[in-house]
Amino acid sequence: MLQLGALQVYLLSDGVVQVDAGGMFGLVPRALWGRMVAPDAENRVPMHLRCLLVKVGDQNIVIDTGLGNKLDEKHRRQWGLERPQGDLLAGLARAGVAPAAVTLVINTHLHADHCAGNNFFDAAGALRPTFPQARYVVQRREYEDAMRPNERTRATYIPLNYEPLHLSGQLELLEGDTELAPGVRGVVTPGHTPGHMSVVLEGGGQAAVFLCDLATYLVHFEKLGWMTAYDVEPLITLETKRAWQQWAMQHHAYLISAHDPQPVARLRPDEHGTARIIPVDLAQD
């Protein structure tokens, strides 16, 4: 747990999946990325599904909902999904939060690995919101793109994960950067998708940012030219990262990763002034 003034930030896991390294590293040669992560025999690398719980005042805020529990056995196998710590709901229970006590759900974007846990099928086969009392939010631009998937984005934009929530009025659409709770700010960080949102957390004179897929692995945040093959606007990702690198160094901010095996880091200039990722062990920081 990370305490930022009045904010208590819990890093929760919805599991770990295995993804093709070509997707994770795009144009970066294996000779370079291979020094940082070892692929398995099928050239797959691990991708964590990290979600956040932020407690502030009487609010319980969930940021991203992971792959959820609607997957059938075939899709679980395709993802190589494993849940050594249980799913997101198990993590919330350990933090003392029941699904009905969640007040706000922030979807950083609508790729399936970030929002499929928004809802679930009950025993009678009815689709229900996982967090019945919560207001859900996502950027309007993201929602509009996700409702018009093309041949390249169709596999990950699955309307079942978000359209019913919007139609029922539970999912609200944001128009750009938005203060969502005291010290919790959604900021548009375009590139991975045009409507992609990161979340800045501030309190007690400290700052953190949940990068989400602004940088899929932490090394992607350090190296401006590295990005996933899934980024639909890679040159925009590059410029967004350039701006947020400066912010992160100025604020000495915690960088919280959605997908890296290492959950938290900071960015510091080395002796040549080049930005470098410094892993942070929260237990010792």
- CB closer to Zn ion out of 110 and 253: 110
Residue 259 beta carbon to Zn ion: minimum distance, rounded to whole angstroms: 6
- CB closer to Zn ion out of 202 and 231: 231
x/- track of binding to Zn ion for residues 103-122 (CB under 5 A): ----------x---------
How many residues touch Zn ion under the rule CB under 5 A: the total is 2
Residue 112 beta carbon to Zn ion: minimum distance, rounded to whole angstroms: 9
What is the rounded distance in angstroms from the CA atom of residue 259 to the CA atom of residue 18? 11
What residues form DSSP beta bridges with 264? 256
Residue 124 beta carbon to Zn ion: minimum distance, rounded to whole angstroms: 31
- CB closer to Zn ion out of 7 and 112: 112
List own/partner pairs for 124-127 with CB under 8 A and 24 or more apart: 127/160, 127/164
Residue 96 beta carbon to Zn ion: minimum distance, rounded to whole angstroms: 27
Residue 41 beta carbon to Zn ion: minimum distance, rounded to whole angstroms: 24
Q: Left if phi > 0, otherwise alpha if psi is -120 to 50, otherwise beta: which for 172? A: beta
Residue 113: closest CA among 235, 198, 216: 216
Residue 66 and residue 14 in contact, taking contact as beta carbons nearer than 8 Å: yes
Task: Give, as ranges, the residues between 6 and 45 that touch Zn ion (CB under 5 A).
Answer: none
- CB closer to Zn ion out of 213 and 231: 213
The stretches of 169-233 forming alpha helices (DSSP H) are 218-222
Task: Give, as ranges, the residues between 67 and 106 that touch Zn ion (CB under 5 A).
Answer: none
Q: Which amino acid is at 188?
A: V
Rule CB under 5 A: say whether 142 interacts with Zn ion: no
- CB closer to Zn ion out of 7 and 17: 17
Question: Which stretch in 33-41, 90-98, 164-172, 213-221 sits in contact with Zn ion by CB under 5 A?
Answer: 213-221
What is the rounded distance in angstroms from the CA atom of residue 21 to the CA atom of residue 34? 10
- For 9-18, give one letter per residue: b (16+ CB within 10 A) or e: bbbbbbbbbb
- Work out which of 14, 87, 142, 213 binds Zn ion, going by CB under 5 A: 213
Closest-approach residue to Zn ion (CB): 213
Sign of CA dihedral 219, 224, 226, 229: positive
Please classify residue 132 by burial: count the beta carbons closer than 10 Å to its beta carbon, then call 0-12 exposed, 13-18 middle and 19+ buried.
Answer: exposed
Question: Which stretch in 82-90, 183-191, 205-213, 245-253 sits in contact with Zn ion by CB under 5 A?
Answer: 205-213
Residues at the contact surface with Zn ion, assessed by CB under 5 A = 113, 213
